Amino acid sequence: MTPAERLSTVDALLVTGGAADGSRSSGSADGSAVAMPIASARTVHTRAAAFLLRRALDDRLNACLQAHRPVLLRCSIRTKTAWLAQQAGSALAGRYAATWHGLSLACHYHCSVLPPTPAELRGWRDDVAAVLRELSESPTL
């Protein structure tokens, strides 16, 4: 999947929760569809959306690294972000790091932490789209 495809998948998850009518259907023993509210599956969809958004960021940065510094592909995200700051400026690198860190926290399940809300994910989705756009438009990358 390309980063753009990942963003459109996130849009579909956030708008419908995975179904066109706002509910999920599951088959019952007699073959009829039983409507199940989204709230019961919201954690799965929000965490899946967070994973897709973080992966879109990772893929785009890795594509830049592949073109300019393939040796850094195996490095940590901190090293990659430091390289990004050197190449594209600290503002873009800081925005990348902050978005990546927030998504990384949202991706992991902790029993005492609530899953991300759809509103939070929409904000992260906008941030990811902006960072991807800036990475594409950067003359040094």
The structural domains of the chain, with segments of one domain joined by +, span: 3-137
pTM assigned to the model: 0.78
Q: Is 65 exposed, middle or buried (0-12, 13-18, 19+ CB in 10 A)?
A: buried
**85 and 93 Cβ atoms separated by less than 8 Å:** yes
**95 and 131 Cβ atoms separated by less than 8 Å:** yes
Residue predicted with more confidence, 27 or 113: 113
| DSSP type of residue 89 | -
Residue 128: φ, ψ to 5° = -65, -45
Model pLDDT for residues 75-107, shown as the tens digit of each residue: 999 999 999 999 999 999 999 999 999 999 999
pLDDT at 29: 43
pLDDT tier, 65 (very low <50, low <70, confident <90, very high otherwise): very high
Task: Look up tokens 């990772």; give the residue.
Answer: 58
| Cα–Cα nearest to 8, from 42, 56, 60, 57 | 56
Lookup: tokens for 26: 């599951």
- Measure Cα distances from 83 to 62, 129, 132 in Å: 11, 20, 16
**33 and 26 Cβ atoms separated by less than 8 Å:** yes
Residue 33: φ, ψ to 5° = -85, 135
